[in-house]
Structure 1
Amino acid sequence: MTGFARYEGQLDLGDGIFADWAWELKTVNAKGLDIRFRLPHGYEDMEAAARRLLDQALGRGAVNAQLSVTVNTGPTAMAVNEQMLAEILALQARLEAGGQVFPSPPRLDALLGLRGMLELAERDIDSSQRQQVVTAALAGLQATVELLASARDAEGGRLQVVLSDQLTAIKALTAAAGERAAGQPEMLKHRLVEQLDLLLTANPPVSEDRLAQELAMLATKADVREEIDRLAAHIEAGDALLNTAEPVGRRLDFLCQELNREANTLCSKAVDLELTRIGLDLKSRIEQFREQVQNVE
């Protein structure tokens, strides 16, 4: 089932340091559960705990879970690149000692104007602070999952209406097939007469055993009551599943296979074009139902 949720938060790590984090969860349809993570550098070790949480909360779907973390360490101070300064002063001393330049005190503005002489002294968080961010982010992931569940529930409600309408259409076609099949005995009677004429005038004559086999085959083929009864039972089971709160995607998928099997048999047994047409319409509706079932968890 498709869905999207975003949840963000901020954590005060003390000493003027704040961590902003945000989770994004996106799910699309899939037969199983496939979870993929995108975690920032330094937070890869939290994937196992996050995966366990999603495994428990989600039963089906391709899930993309993305975490972003931004640490604000407050105002940064300027620092002198002391190694660079020492190398420049040492070079000046050597040049003066060799008489290559006249001795003169270095100018501060010239030194500080050199590229790379001044650096931003950035602070980083320690392992304890990083663990605080991980703990907060995992708690935030749980909240994100709850938002995702709400979004998926809303979609599930809309999908339930669509599936219910399609199942109603399948039920109507099954009823039409039952009404049409009620006239098959008369059609079968005419076909039996035609077949008997052919068998009785055959040269050499057909044996009584062969005649009995042919008649039994025609009678069996024309009887679609069992298929229609099973279709009705499957439809009733589908109605019950659509009104169940627990995940039913796999069971509905299996139900579609059974509906399709009965519709195929109905088409193969039909002895007139109208019943065949109804059977083909039934198969088409069942396929539409099956396609939507793939969206159900």
Structure 2
Amino acid sequence: MIRSMTGFASGKGAFGPHSWTWELRSVNGKGLDLRIRVPEWLTGLEVALRGTLSKSLSRGNVTLSMRLSRDEADAELALNEAAMANAMDALVKTQQMAEARGVSLALSGATDLLAMKGMMEAGTDADDPGPLVAHLTSKFPELLSAFIDMRQTEGEALAGVLTSQLDQVASLTEQAAEMAAQRKDKMADALRENLARVMDNTQGADPDRVAQELALIAVKADITEEIDRLIAHVAAARDLLGQDGAVGRKLDFLMQEFNREANTLCSKAQSADLTSVGLELKAVIDQMREQVQNIE
């Protein structure tokens, strides 16, 4: 089953005082480009997530972003000793300045100091992020699974479109083969007439050399090989669409081969009808190539 390189998944969860939301999204790309945005203090999390993504995906520009928040109501409060020391130094200095001017100030109590902004702060897990990192790592496969499911769903839709386009290519190739067969006798008669005309109006020409030149013209107008290769390419593309795993690069290369045969067919057509079929082939192949750019 083929997968699209376009996908999106989101999730959320909580662990202790922490809650998070994360999003995983991707668009098409030549290779696998991973961009992971997680808090730096969650040591080891990015490495773990990058490893999991690298094992599961082959192509695409993939972005993982996470927002982490902490519920301060459930967090343990800790004294900001540096802020408290600065506040007490400021009180001592203020008291000394007041006494020097004969001003009496009311004494401040511990409650007053603790009520000052910045004296009490929520404890942090930055010193021990291990439990949170382990929990996030264990929950990530759920997000990744939803993401891959979406890419597979998109891939199934792409496979349907490509199958329909391959049917068109096969039908047009069959039309071209029928037209080539119908014109074969006419081309042979025309060559014989041209040979007779040349021999009647040319003195001293080597009949064998003239025949070789006319035969070469006939070969250059023969599209049998192009028809055979187009049929083979259709079969190869159908086979790739039925395979599992990353087949996007192989399909992209095959589209180049399709286009090459269609171009050659047009150059050899020598008839308006066959040229029209060749141009239709090129249009369908171009549409296929656009779709293939989204396949992993």
Question: Is residue 92 of structure 1 aligned with residue 95 of structure 2?
Answer: yes
Runs of 4+ in 1 over 4 A off after TM superposition: 75-80, 201-205
Q: In structure 2, do the counterparts of structure 1 residues 144 and 202 end up closer, same or farther at CA, with 3 Å as the change threshold?
A: farther
Shift of 1:118: 3.7
Cα distance between partner residues in 1 of 2:227 and 2:288: 18
Structure with more relative contact order (C-alpha pairs < 8 Å, separation 6 or more):
2
SS in 1 for 2:35: strand
SS in 2 for 1:69: strand
CA contact (8 A) 1:200 1:206 kept: yes
CA contact (8 A) 1:163 1:289 kept: yes
Shift of 1:4: 0.2
Q: 2:13 aligns with which of 9, 16, 20?
A: 9
Question: Is residue 106 of structure 1 aligned with residue 106 of structure 2?
Answer: yes
Matched with 1:15 is none
Letter in 1 for 2:11: Y
User: What is the RMSD of the two structures over their aligned residues, measured on CA atoms?
Assistant: 2.7
Cα distance between partner residues in 1 of 2:24 and 2:9: 5
Question: Is residue 279 of structure 1 aligned with residue 282 of structure 2?
Answer: no
Q: In structure 2, do the counterparts of structure 1 residues 118 and 52 end up closer, same or farther at CA, with 3 Å as the change threshold?
A: closer
Cα distance between partner residues in 2 of 1:217 and 1:117: 98
Matched with 1:52 is 51
> How many residues are paired up?
286
SS in 2 for 1:119: coil
SS in 2 for 1:67: strand
Gaps of 5+ in 1: 13-17
Measured against aligned partners, the alpha-carbon deviations of 1:40-92 in whole angstroms (never above 9, x if no partner) come to 23236432221111010001111011122212243576978452243233332
SS in 2 for 1:132: helix
Letter in 2 for 1:36: R
Cα distance between partner residues in 2 of 1:174 and 1:265: 13
Measured against aligned partners, the alpha-carbon deviations of 1:144-203 in whole angstroms (never above 9, x if no partner) come to 110101111111111111111111111111111111111221331354246425633666
Letter in 1 for 2:165: Q
Of all paired residues, the percent bearing the same amino acid is: 38
Cα distance between partner residues in 2 of 1:78 and 1:226: 81
Cα distance between partner residues in 1 of 2:74 and 2:108: 25
The two structures have a TM-score, normalised by structure 1, of 0.86
Gaps of 5+ in 2: none
Matched with 1:166 is 165
The two structures have a TM-score, normalised by structure 2, of 0.86
